Structures are given as structure tokens and as C-alpha cells.
Structure 1
């Protein structure tokens, strides 16, 4: 079995390399957070008030990062295992039992997690003190020195590996249930209809219940005697609401992504042949569209909601005639809480786009066989990136509007004057930057195949 594990790892290293950025960033985030928590614990006895304030921020960071990390790692791990269905089918046809196939995939995940954990930890070490300094400056307190925390970092690495193994195990078990001949037939096509509808409905119901509970419990802050604590409670509820809504949209993505994409693309005037080809390619690969849209959508949700929250509190302070910034409402304060999950979602979005590059090159080779010009073969992935970005934008806009509605409900309960701002202009500019990044990750990996004969490009995918 050792030789089989080594051979499969060699054969899949390019796929794992495409998503390694996500694993590295998640390990980096958790290693930095664990080190900061260890430093807080080191000064807990001398400065309990300062530590309590920062413990709350770090705890919230843990919760939000874990939610986003579970979502993103599960998505990119499923993409890799889905791309290896041809190899899995050949192993089964050669006589490998399902447990052997699953074990081979778990070994690959373990090796990738270990390598990425080492890289993430090395990147985390020089970042701990700057993050602690930013916490101290944001809260207006004394400097907290960094402390060595090998045990905490190791536990964070194990947590990331457990998340990756769990996401990979589910995808591996699904892959082994497909008959080998059928898996070979589908290895260059869409991965088929995704399972787990009941589980997604349950998740959506639970998340909707938590969101409803937050809205229901918010008016109770009016009974709090400490005005500052009441304002902080509203902020923390808003911080927690953002990833909850993003997760809800991700779980509902099999329905919402398809409906939104079909709906708005029908409204595009002047449908050229290239647009028709790109639209039908995207809609024909609905599973790929969903997996690609989710990380991009989560990135937009965090950015849009963060800007809405920050600008609303800034406008509220101006309306109240107070100078300065309320702790945690300026850009550095928001980044301390949402910066880590934002980095995870960005890494997941880039990984998902890069992971699907091989499929896109094969599709473009088929387009060339059907008569597409080189210019059209470049335009098709550009249009696909545009469709992904617009669909993600529409879903993120829904989340941002719900967050704005929550602040419209909560701010009057704790502040005499308030103002909720929807930063539409900034959202447009941010969306443009995300579209450029999405386009680059979609188009650039396919340019090399334009000089390769189409049969050779298709043969590479079939052999994967």
C-alpha cells in the first residue's frame, strides 16, 4: 500500500497545489490566533480587565474563522477529490476495495495538511506581535508581549487537519459509491448532482433559527444599565450575524446560484455567440459554478458587511457630534475581527478558480474543434468570470441588506441618534477589484493551452 500511496500522491500533487493556499492561510490564521490567546493568558493575572476585552475579540475571531474555514476547506477539498474521480475509478477497476481508496485519499490529505501547517506556522511567527500591538492600540491599553505557544499552535494545526480530513472523508465516500465505469465516463464532465439535500435543508433551518433568535433577542439590550456594554453587544451580534448569513447563502447555493444566474443572464441584451457559449457552459456545469461562486460570495459578504458596519458607526458618531472613533468600528478594529475569515475566503476563492483550470482548458479545446477563434477562446473564460462575480455580488447584496436592516433595528435601542449607511459606491469598486482577480485566475491558467493541439489538451484531462 505504501507504493500505492506514494504513486497517488505524485499523480495528484498538481491538484493539491492548486488549493494549498487555502490550507496555508487557514493554518496561518489559527496559529496567529492561538499565539495571541497564549500571550493574553500570560498577562491575565496582572491585567485582567485588558485581557477580558481582548479575549472577547479573540474568541469571536475563533468562532467566525472556524465557520468560514469549515465552509471553504470543505469546498476546495471536495473539488480536488472530485477531480480525481478518474483515478479513483481506475483503482476500483484494478481491484482496490473502497476502504483502500478512502485510505489513499486520507493519506494525501494528511500529507498536504502537514506540509501546509508547517508553512502556515512559519508565516504566523512574525505576525503575532504586530497583531497584539494592533489589539492594544485599538483598545487603548498597554502593550502585550508575544509568548511562545507551541502546544497551542499544534492544537490549532490539528484542528485544521481534522476539518480537512472530515471534508475529504465525505467527498471520498461519495466518490467510492459511484460505479467505476460511470465515474470514468463522468471524469471529464460535470460531477453530477450533488447529494445531501436533507442535510442542507437542516443546516439552513438551524441557521435561520439562529438569525431569528438574534433579531428576537436584540431588543433586550434596552434593559442593560451599562450603555457601553450595550453598544458592544450590538456590535458583537452584528459580527456574528455576518458569517451566519454567509453560511446560510452558501448552504442554499445549489438553489439560489442556479436561479440567480439563469435569471439575470436572461436579461443581458445583445447576446452574441460568445456570450451564448459562455452562458450555456456555465449553466451546464452547475456543480462547478456553485463551488466557484461560494468562496467569492463569502468574500463579498464579509467585505460589504464590514464596510456597511464601519461606515454606519462612523456616520452615527458624526450625527451625535462626537469626534474620534468608537473602539472596534474603524477599519483596523473591523479587520481584527473579520480580517482572518476574510483572508480564508479570499484564499478559498482563488483556490477554487485555479482548481477548475484544467476543466476549462479542455472545454476551450472542444470549442476550438467546433470552430471557435482564439479571441473567442479568451473571451469565454472572461465572461464566465463575469457571471461568477455578478452572481456572487447579488447574493452578497442580500446579506448586506439584512445586516443593514439589523442595524436599523438595533442602533436606536442603544444610541439616541443613529445612521445606517449602505456604501454602494465602495461596493462597486470592491466588486470591480474582485472581478479583476477572478478574471485573472480564470483566464491566465488557460492561455498556455491556446498553443497546444486540442486533442492533446483533452487527452490530458481524460488521463487525470
Structure 2
């Protein structure tokens, strides 16, 4: 069995390399948090005020929870893309007599090896950046400086935790891989496993997220009973921060239903409908599993950015309207980046990995388009239009997340303050969306350009041999 695991790992290393940025970022985030916690504990032993230690530990705890949740979503997504690209190999394993248990064990072994390998780079990044992260946190909290320390046991624990999250995040994709009919190894069907499988788990997760979101809204009026206004405001802010990953998780679990409906709906409204647009739209809708897995990390990236800006602008405008009578930390964008920066980095890494992972599949599709008569310009425009569809669909879902956060702020701020301002910076959001569109387009179009100069049969044969 060991030889089988090693052979599959050697055969799939290019696929895992395409998504290694995600694993490096997740490992770096958890190692950084572990070193920050160890540094704070060392500072506490040296006389740091207990209240400052509690504030630091709370910020680290919030980061760990959000990184774990976003990491689960993103790793599950990119692992699903890797498994999708390896469906032929997995089906051939089943034809050779491998049981579902052996297939899952093979994929989970690959996940563990990839995560631990990427941990080496992630640890180095964490060691080099921990002092800067501590300085940013202490500055935003107006705390005394905390010297960074290196704790090998803390880093090792973070690596093992990250490996566990990676394996848990990839478990669903691994289980789905065992449902692929072995005959697919012979016919190389392009269809993905039925999205209906696993829907029960998604429905249960969605119900749980809806219950938690509703609970936050329902419990917020209890803040009226809190006499300390500063504490009440901090509680509202923390609840708003918790709301972001909850809504993102809800959108992720509902993706098999909402992403397809949303994409079909808005693309149908596009005027003109040239042949190139028709080809791009049908290619995207025909690859629904790929669309879902590509949209999710882009949506999380945009959702985190938009909601962070909404929170920062709303709190800043509220404090300004009150004449700055109430002073709070973490309400400006730099302060929010201390809390949300690491989950945001994981989401960005996942988005880039998801887009780059699909390069070879897009190359084969464009080669088929050339055989069918597509011009060179059309073969460049098709992935460009696909990037546009991905970005717009992600934007609409991220806008929904932002509106939920804004609705919570509209409910919560009047409860704890005499006046309030809820500000959604739509102008800045649109500018950031254009930047993300350009980045998405580059990650979608550029990797396919070399294949446009190759003969279509050669490009297709590479895909079939994968």
C-alpha cells in the first residue's frame, strides 16, 4: 500500500503544486498565531498587564476560529478541484481493484504530505513576520510592545492542527471521489459526480448557519441591559465579525443551488449575446462543479473585503457623529486587518489556487473550440469572459454578505448608541471589484496562452493522459 501511495503522490505532484499556495498560507497563518500567543505568554511572565494579555489572547482566538473556518472552506474547495483533475487516475485505481477505503486513504495521505511539506515554507514566513504582526496589533490596541519569541513546540502544534484541518477539509472531496464509476477511466467523461450526493449534509450545515445567524440577531437587543457602553460596543463589533464567516459558510453550503441559479439568471440578462459570449456562457454553465469551486474562494475574498470596509466605515462615521465621545480600538481598517487579515490572506490564496488549478482543463476546452472553428481572438476572449462571469457571480454573493452585515449594524448600533451611521462604501467596493476582475482574468487567461500555439490534438492528449 505504501508503494501505491508514493506512486500516486509522484503522479499528482503537479496538481498539488498548483494549489500549494493555499496550504502555505494556512500553515503560515496558524504558525504565526501560535508564535504570537507564545510571545504574549512570555511577555505576561515578564510583567505585561493581565488585561493586555486577555485582549491579545482574545484577538488570537478570534483569528484562529476564523482561519479554521475559512481554511476548511478553501482547502475543501481546492482539494475538490485537485480530485476533479485526477478523476481518471482515481477511476483506474478502482478498476485495478482498489476499494473506496483505499482511494480515500491514498488521497488523505497526499493531503497530509502536501500540508506538512508546505508547513516548512509557512513556518519560515511566520517566523519572519511575527514581530511585525505583533507590532501592528499592539499599535492598534495602544499596548506596550511585545517581543517575539520562537517556540518550536508551538509551531509544531500549529502544523499538526493545520494538517488536521486540511485533511478534514478534503475529506468530503475524497469521499466523493469513491463514487466515480470505474468505467469513467475508459470513457473519460467530462461530467462531475452528481451534485445531489452530499446534499443532506449541506442542508444540515445550512440550517445550522441560519440558526446561528438568527441567534445573533435575536440576542443583540440584550445589549440594552449592559451598563458599560464601551463593553456593549465591543460586543456588537465582535458579533458583527462573527457574522461574516457564518454567512460565508452559509453561501458556501448553498452553492450547488444558488451559484447555478444566480449565474443563469444574470447572464441571461446580458444584451448582445455574441457567439463568443454564447460559447463562454455555456462552457461555464456546463462545468457547474468547476464554477462552484472557483466562485467560492473569490466570493469569500470579496465578502471579507467588502464587509470589513462596511464595518470600518460604519463605526468611524458613528463615532464622528457622536463627537468621538466613545473611543474604541479595532474599528478602523488597519485595526480590522489585525483581526481579519489572516482569513483574508487564506481566501486570496484559495482564489488564486482555484483559478490556476483549472488552467489545463481550460486548455483542452480551448483546443476543442479551435477544432470546431474558433478563431485565436475567440480563444482568448472565452476564458476572459469566463473570468468575468466568475467575478460577477462572486460579487453578487459577496454583496449579499455585506448587506446582511449592514442590516445587523442597522439593528445593533441604535441599541447601544444614541446615534448611528451605517455606511456601505459602494464606490470603493466597485473599484476593488474591478481590481479582482483584472486579477481573475490574468489567472484565467495567461496560463492558457502557451497552449494556443500548440496543435489541438497534443493539448487534448495531455488532458486525457492526466
For the pair 1:31 / 2:35, whether they are aligned, the reply is no
Deviation string, structure 1 residues 206-252 (Cα, Å, up to 9, x no partner): 00000111001111111111111111001100010111111111111
Aligned to 1:167: 169
Deviation string, structure 1 residues 43-99 (Cα, Å, up to 9, x no partner): 335210111112111111111111111110111112111211111122222333333
For the pair 1:16 / 2:8, whether they are aligned, the reply is no
Gap change, CA 1:371 and 1:190, over 3 Å in 2: farther
Q: By how many angstroms is 1:171 displaced? A: 2.1
The 3-state SS of whatever aligns with 1:199 is helix
Q: By how many angstroms is 1:185 displaced? A: 3.0
Aligned to 1:80: 82
Aligned to 2:348: 346
The 3-state SS of whatever aligns with 1:338 is helix
Q: Following superposition of structure 1 onto structure 2, how do residues 270-349 of structure 1 map, counting pairs within 5 Å?
A: 270-322=272-324, 326-349=328-351
Q: By how many angstroms is 1:139 displaced? A: 1.0
For the pair 1:391 / 2:367, whether they are aligned, the reply is no
Aligned to 2:182: 180
* Cα distance in 2 between the residues matched to 1:184 and 1:394: 39
Aligned to 1:3: 3
Kept in 2, the 8 Å contact 1:300–1:396? The answer is yes
Kept in 1, the 8 Å contact 2:28–2:123? The answer is yes
Q: By how many angstroms is 1:418 displaced? A: 1.1
Q: By how many angstroms is 1:416 displaced? A: 1.6
Aligned to 2:145: 143
* Cα distance in 1 between the residues matched to 2:334 and 2:268: 41
Q: Following superposition of structure 1 onto structure 2, how do residues 428-439 of structure 1 map, counting pairs within 5 Å?
A: 428-439=430-441
Gap change, CA 1:347 and 1:184, over 3 Å in 2: farther
Aligned to 1:152: 154
Please, what TM-score do these two structures have when normalized by structure 1? 0.97
* Cα distance in 1 between the residues matched to 2:420 and 2:95: 66
Among residues 250, 258, 261, which one is paired with 1:248 in the alignment? Answer: 250
Structure 1: tracts of 5 or more residues without a match: none
For the pair 1:456 / 2:458, whether they are aligned, the reply is yes
* Cα distance in 1 between the residues matched to 2:404 and 2:296: 18
Which stretch shows the higher mean deviation, 80-89 or 420-429? 80-89
* Cα distance in 2 between the residues matched to 1:129 and 1:110: 29
The 3-state SS of whatever aligns with 2:19 is helix
* Cα distance in 1 between the residues matched to 2:267 and 2:27: 38
Which stretch shows the higher mean deviation, 233-242 or 99-108? 99-108
Kept in 2, the 8 Å contact 1:354–1:441? The answer is yes
Aligned to 2:109: 107
Which stretch shows the higher mean deviation, 390-399 or 412-421? 412-421
* Cα distance in 2 between the residues matched to 1:291 and 1:206: 21
Deviation string, structure 1 residues 125-157 (Cα, Å, up to 9, x no partner): 011111111111111121111122221211111
Q: Following superposition of structure 1 onto structure 2, how do residues 38-57 of structure 1 map, counting pairs within 5 Å?
A: 38-45=38-45, 46=47, 47-57=49-59
The 3-state SS of whatever aligns with 1:44 is helix
* Cα distance in 2 between the residues matched to 1:268 and 1:325: 47
Kept in 1, the 8 Å contact 2:267–2:281? The answer is yes
The 3-state SS of whatever aligns with 2:449 is helix
The 3-state SS of whatever aligns with 1:95 is coil
Kept in 1, the 8 Å contact 2:72–2:168? The answer is no
Q: By how many angstroms is 1:414 displaced? A: 1.5
* Cα distance in 2 between the residues matched to 1:251 and 1:262: 19
Q: By how many angstroms is 1:42 displaced? A: 1.9
Kept in 1, the 8 Å contact 2:33–2:64? The answer is yes
Kept in 2, the 8 Å contact 1:194–1:287? The answer is no
Structure 2: tracts of 5 or more residues without a match: none
Which stretch shows the higher mean deviation, 226-235 or 322-331? 322-331
Q: By how many angstroms is 1:343 displaced? A: 0.3
Q: By how many angstroms is 1:330 displaced? A: 1.2
The 3-state SS of whatever aligns with 1:329 is coil
Which stretch shows the higher mean deviation, 40-49 or 50-59? 40-49
Which stretch shows the higher mean deviation, 442-451 or 88-97? 88-97
The 3-state SS of whatever aligns with 1:24 is helix
Kept in 2, the 8 Å contact 1:296–1:345? The answer is yes
Deviation string, structure 1 residues 252-286 (Cα, Å, up to 9, x no partner): 11111111101100110111000000000001111
* Cα distance in 2 between the residues matched to 1:343 and 1:65: 9
* Cα distance in 1 between the residues matched to 2:196 and 2:33: 34
Kept in 2, the 8 Å contact 1:50–1:141? The answer is yes
Please, what TM-score do these two structures have when normalized by structure 2? 0.96
Aligned to 1:210: 212
Between the two proteins, the alignment pairs up a number of residues equal to: 464
Kept in 1, the 8 Å contact 2:89–2:185? The answer is no
Kept in 2, the 8 Å contact 1:85–1:187? The answer is no
